[in-house]
Chains A and B, each alone.
Chain A
Amino acid sequence: MENISFALPVSGALYEGSMDLLNKCDLSVSRSNNRVYTAKIPSLKGLDVMFQRQSDIPARLDSKVADIGIVGLDSFYESKLDDGSSTVLIDNLGFGASDLVLAVPEAWLDVTNLVDLADLSFKMREEGRDLRIATKYPRLVSRFLNNNSIYYFNIVDASGGIEVAPFIGYADMICDITATGNTLRQNRLKIIDNGIVFTSQAALVGNIESLSEKTNLENIKIVIEKIEAYMNSKKYQRVTVNLSITDLGLASVDDLEAVISSNTILHGLKGPSFSHVLTGEPGSWISLELIISNDQIMQCVEELRKLGGISITTSDLDMIFYKESLGFEKLSEAISLFGEKI
């Protein structure tokens, strides 16, 4: 049986993020040292890991050298073949967030948004030259500008230290990734309004064609399910609380259940679970455990306080598995459609 090949970024924030994610998903990568570019995930037999520059990973997928990979969405959409079989399996791995932005020298007081940029491109055209934009992302930038009716520009392919391009003079402006905008500001560049070309973060990607040729997708299913379950778990917290039925003036746990049922905030992911608390104190105490979405935590705490809840604690979850894995279902469907197409 042919092994599944999993491409991971070889260095940088995406490498760190990938390693961290896989560790948390119980899919730790065993790599003998940083100069070795292949590795294994001991918990998954039949899966080989290869470390590649993240900008090369889309090409490895398109050429079916790799079956799945972790890569920034910006690199993926910049480099993937239009008519290739690579696709995004999970588009939000929770790290590597960045924006690809258009930035102009701050001295360009006449250019604050895309409309001004369009006007400037016309003016430069009349003067016999095109607006030059330095970027590592020529395809994404060209598409974005065309979609915004800007056509008079030249892309200057550049990599590394792009911020200095207007200063040196090999480009008039730049389009580059930024997380905070600090580097741009330090280089006296400003992001123009509506100038976010692409919002990116790390994603799990795969080649449908190469995966369709595999006889056993069990390893892929485990990778997708665990990552998905981990990502699901980050949206929720486990909340526990102790409630006194007696203090609430209720006769039984059934009465408490009715109170909880009438309060949608306290339903959590799929209703709370109850257990008796042996306090040694008079009255009947119940411990309630709920899975609450992060954005409702404080509301939930308030509601529990109103019910006289004490010892309210929250804790992180490791994984949440739903009835089905949406990612794997999506992959299976894509493979099935690919089979029909050929």
Chain B
Amino acid sequence: MNNFSNINKLSGFKDKFSDSLIYSNKLRKDFSDFVEKWGYEQVSTPILERSDLFTSKTGTSLTNNIYSFTDPSGVDVSLRPDFTSSIMRMIIEKEIDYSKNSIRFSYSGDIFRYSPNENNFISQNGIELIGTNNITSDVEVLSIAMIFSRNMMSEDVFVRVGHVGILMDIFRFYKISDRESLFILQNLDFISSETSIESVFSKAKDFGIFINDDSGTTQSKDLSDVEISKMLDFAFSNDNNFKQTRDKESIIKGILNNFEKQSNSKNFSECLSTISKLINIDTNLEEAISLANEILAGVPVKKNLSDFYQIVKNLENYEIDISNIKIDFGLVREWGYYSGFVFELYSKGFGEKNSFGGGGRYDFSSKSGVIPATGFAIDSEKIFNNSISFSTKNIKKIVVYAKNNEDYTLAQKTCFDERNIGNIVILETSEKNIEELRVWSKENNFSEIISVSQNKINRIEV
């Protein structure tokens, strides 16, 4: 009746073997060596943190995909769903001063996010540049991402760039509520593919997005604060002992907010139209900015648009060909998290929709205020799964074979020499014959057999 044998690997996780581990270890080393030259110091944070750290920070669709449980001491803990929160926690906890000099950290490791039918862990290598909101930091982060990816992979790497701040400027201009903004950000793909704003509008209504049908006019505030206060007094009067977690002021604010929701169908429709045009821009940097300026005439987006242009243009200072940069005003990444410039990395070899990394400006909110920050990470698992020619080609896997006891000394010396030149070597002293050994070597990705017999060495290609 019972089945005690169900100890199979959890879906969404992987057992890794040497090919994958060699790859990820090399990627990790190359990455940290590379970013070290840009002044990034390696840090390591615990894989397990208090749950509050992640739930109070993320607030995106990620919040409910975190692996959380109660540890044996009774503390609610979570496997990290990203590195940023832990690094920020470390900075705040250690009182590391980022105000005078910006801080540069790099990291490597696994993060964990539950997602049905997908990988539930991501092996990340990334950096965080904390303490500056100057565009040079965005340029630096994007440059590192691009140069490293190209060095490691190929010239096929290209990047898609956007700026969440521009979209936020548009929402503010059209007085779009937070909830409506969220709907738009979540449905940018749909908005870009739909020619009819009416169909998007209809979807918004189907989704229960509040849109005041009092088209074009601002809803008037019918009740005064005093009247609302009286309503609340009445609501509370039934049971003066009844408590709840919000004070009257908060509820009054909420009611006023309901009255003052100035978004309406006309504003919402105009906003959708503007964003639809903007996110359909598909051209080079100069033309894209020019078109965006036309579409956004009257919308106060000048600073973010200018920053966006400067960030991309400045890549040329690092000899990056910006013709490989795809301007995508609809790129948001994890909505609700990033706040400014964002980018995603792609390789033509992986397919144009399969991003292997990305990042951007996220400006971390803490109790002491907003900490300006930008960063990126690449997913080594994704690169490995899609990679055909990762450069481990100089490392050979060799079997040194000694059948007789008298050959062991030379065999061991041969192993020592081969390992010294960087190869992976195993010593095989079994009773296999050479043909059996060749089959086994092939199955296990060994490229050469060194057979040692009667003080002679014979190299055999597998």
Contact = CB atoms under 8 A, between A and B. Distances in A.
Nearest to A166: B244
B418 to A, nearest CB: 44
B155 to A, nearest CB: 39
Contacts of A64: 1-3, 6
A120 B250 CA distance: 10
Given A65-B1, A130-B56, A169-B243, A122 B178 contact: yes
Interface string B203-234: 00001111000000000000000001001100
B177 A119 contact: yes
A260 B64 CA distance: 60
A222 B1 CA distance: 20
A148 interface: yes
A280 interface: no
A120 B6 CA distance: 44
A257 to B, nearest CB: 51
A130 B55 contact: yes
Contacts of A171: 245
Given A82-B116, A151-B336, A169-B243, A107 B232 contact: yes
B208 A152 contact: no
Contacts of A26: none
B333 to A, nearest CB: 15
Contacts of A116: 254, 258
B273 to A, nearest CB: 22
Contacts of A39: none
Contact of A188 (B64, B239, B365): B239
A87 interface: no
Contact of B3 (A148, A153, A188, A210): A210
Interface string A318-340: 00000000000000000000000
A245 interface: no
A167 B244 contact: yes
B180 to A, nearest CB: 10
B2 A65 contact: yes
Interface in A227-270: none
A295 interface: no
B257 A123 contact: yes
A5 interface: yes
A149 B246 contact: no
Contacts of B73: none
A151 B60 contact: yes
B183 interface: yes
Contacts of A41: none
Interface string B232-256: 1001101100111110000101110
Interface in A89-116: 105-111, 114-116
B182 interface: yes
Contacts of B207: 149
Contacts of B228: 109
A293 interface: no
Given A63-B6, A82-B116, A114 B61 contact: no
A122 B254 CA distance: 11
B64 A142 contact: yes
Contacts of B258: 110, 116, 119
A172 B245 contact: yes
A165 B149 CA distance: 51
A194 B207 CA distance: 12
Contact of A172 (B56, B177, B246, B336): B246
A111 B254 contact: yes
Top 5 A-B residue pairs of the complex, sorted by shortest distance between their CB atoms = A110-B254, A105-B244, A122-B178, A142-B64, A115-B210
Given A105-B245, A130-B56, A149-B179, 13 more contacts: A64-B1, A107-B246, A109-B231, A110-B251, A110-B254, A110-B258, A111-B254, A118-B178, A123-B257, A128-B367, A151-B336, A167-B243, A169-B243
21 contacts: A5-B1, A105-B244, A107-B244, A108-B246, A108-B254, A110-B258, A115-B179, A115-B209, A116-B258, A118-B178, A119-B254, A123-B253, A123-B254, A128-B367, A148-B208, A151-B61, A166-B243, A169-B245, A172-B244, A188-B238, A188-B242
